[in-house]
Structure 1
């Protein structure tokens, strides 16, 4: 059972599904005006344009976590993202602040690749091989239960924006790291810090065993998980772009495979991708390897020439579940005194997670 299974998804009324975008926008704007400072509306960069346009703040996972933690005024934090983001926001905010996810079906396939049964079994096997030598490190793209496990065992949470700084610190605390659930962020970051590929080993959660030779030289154990969006980019696509334009610059997210990152000119978080392109000369031609909603928005708003590394790649399907009808209905419910689709992490899980989350924020 996951934390979200404890919550009942309220059915979106058909009346909202049938409204046109202009009317839905009117609902949203009217509700925002009435709620005023009681409402904080956050949206991730990967959301659709129609949602981003309504947000008070737009950011990546680290930025939005920082904003949620610092806001002590809003009664309601409506999080247009996915479930692990809303869970994190709930754990970082005060007990009297309520976090709402407009559609509880907005999940994360990567986060779902690590459940507590698998994580516990992996930790037991790792401890048997490397007693007291390993620190658990989880990507923020993980469930609250996994974050609690990491916090309980003295570990830390990372985002793509602070992974290098956090892993550098973590390696000063323990000889080895157990990084989950995204193997690519762990591998790319550790390699950037000077850890050779030969000192990395995969853990296969489906088989419950190491995938490859785990020995005393191992520095980082990588959970065999990945992001479906960033799996859609490959080296052949980059080579084809360079043939078309030898001057093109390639920038990718660290959730991409190691070979893709090595073939790129720049690698970085969503925030770094945006700022790097924004600050480049207008004549620069970029190809970007991340979610298509963001890349399309960059094409429309920035003067630089911007292309997709893979033009037919799909955007994050679960992130795209939140649409104008969900947001309009959600805000109308708040105006009416109802709190729909609240994300509330239990106190024990929150307490265990906070030690790892606070380390993440301190090191950011």
Structure 2
């Protein structure tokens, strides 16, 4: 079930009163509830969230980091996850049964995660097994649904993050001759290439057409799922060329979810955490064009006024699904806890959670 279907299935919608409250009243009420609930409440906020939400987060970080922090927080009865659906699922998988995970707006999904559903994946696996036999191990980016993580766990594979993708791909290739990398083809391609695997040893699986686009290639090592991040795919080589011409002193840093040609043309590439650290450690007066989500770019601009920071694509907007979590939805979630009727609870099926933990633990053991 994708996030649109989940949103349609959801019967409880945010009451209109939250749409008409002024910002000052909402902020004051959130502070009041946080004080009332104390350590029984934990609010993790992803780097790409709006500033109006991040200001109330107990911790900020990437998706897996926040899920791990949620799991370590045994005092919290309620975890209000300010991110997207797959992140809240991972938090529910890693926390104990007595902890309740809420997502302030059920429409906050991830287009990349929705590009690989379990039915497509099972069909692809059967066809790829018919082509290559038992020579494939699956890896999935943590930006995937719980069902995909569970599939990977059942088949001996592991999850990966953009920070540890190289380590996990290297590990996987000691287990089997080939890997199937879901759901982001760009992270898979960039990681494999950086490890010395040539592009002609990679092939793309199209889940819509149910075909391997490059089946004629010989000695395939990496099977890439045809998925992508709708934000990072909008950064282009033309953006870089234009910037090089107009501002030759600008450092260009991009996320590895960008296309291969964009990563090659940039000066640096790395995970969200890598980008943040690069900017933090950069000398005062340095100039940076960043190819990642706009909320984070704006936050880095505000936190580092001594540096010139711009978005690599001047026409970029924030991640639309991440942006669905706003102050009214956060307040609604918190008041529903006070009313002892929590809304938008994320609860992963026990068997799916158990299988997904296998994939997560294979990664965490190497962290």
TM range (shorter): over 0.9
Give the deviation of 1:131 after TM superposition.
1.3
The more displaced of 8-17 and 229-238 is 8-17
Deviation string 1:12-63 (CA, Å, 9 cap, x unpaired) is: 1111110111111111111100110101101101011100111000111232
Equivalent position SS for 2:162: coil
Alignment partners' CA distance in 2, 1:56 and 1:252: 27
The more displaced of 183-192 and 155-164 is 155-164
In structure 2, the residue matched to 1:311 is 314
> Is contact 2:43–2:57 with CA below 8 Å preserved after alignment?
yes
Give the deviation of 1:280 after TM superposition.
0.9
In structure 2, the residue matched to 1:327 is 330
> Is contact 1:62–1:161 with CA below 8 Å preserved after alignment?
no
> Is contact 2:67–2:91 with CA below 8 Å preserved after alignment?
yes
Equivalent position SS for 1:43: strand
Equivalent position SS for 1:77: strand
Equivalent position SS for 2:309: strand
Cα distance change, pair 12–198 in 1 and its aligned pair in 2 (3 A): same
Alignment partners' CA distance in 1, 2:221 and 2:70: 34
Kindly report which structure 2 residues correspond to 1:1-364, keeping only aligned pairs within 5 A, or say none: 1-2=1-2, 5=6, 8-302=10-304, 303-364=306-367
Equivalent position SS for 1:23: helix
Give the deviation of 1:165 after TM superposition.
1.4
Show structure 2 runs of 5+ residues with no match. none
Alignment partners' CA distance in 2, 1:5 and 1:259: 35
Give the deviation of 1:65 after TM superposition.
2.2
Alignment partners' CA distance in 2, 1:70 and 1:214: 48
Alignment partners' CA distance in 2, 1:351 and 1:184: 28
The more displaced of 256-265 and 310-319 is 310-319
Give the deviation of 1:180 after TM superposition.
0.7
Show structure 1 runs of 5+ residues with no match. none
Alignment partners' CA distance in 2, 1:86 and 1:247: 40
Alignment partners' CA distance in 1, 2:189 and 2:2: 27
Equivalent position SS for 1:255: coil
Give the deviation of 1:300 after TM superposition.
1.1
Give the deviation of 1:216 after TM superposition.
4.5
The more displaced of 58-67 and 177-186 is 58-67
Equivalent position SS for 2:81: strand
Alignment partners' CA distance in 1, 2:355 and 2:325: 30
Give the deviation of 1:248 after TM superposition.
1.3
Equivalent position SS for 1:142: coil
Give the deviation of 1:8 after TM superposition.
2.9
Deviation string 1:82-123 (CA, Å, 9 cap, x unpaired) is: 000000100000011110000001011111111111101110
Alignment partners' CA distance in 2, 1:197 and 1:8: 43
Give the deviation of 1:160 after TM superposition.
1.1
Give the deviation of 1:159 after TM superposition.
1.2
Alignment partners' CA distance in 1, 2:57 and 2:291: 24
Give the deviation of 1:215 after TM superposition.
4.5
Alignment partners' CA distance in 2, 1:41 and 1:266: 32
> Is contact 1:78–1:101 with CA below 8 Å preserved after alignment?
yes
Equivalent position SS for 1:307: strand
Cα distance change, pair 122–15 in 1 and its aligned pair in 2 (3 A): same
RMSD: 1.4
Equivalent position SS for 1:80: coil
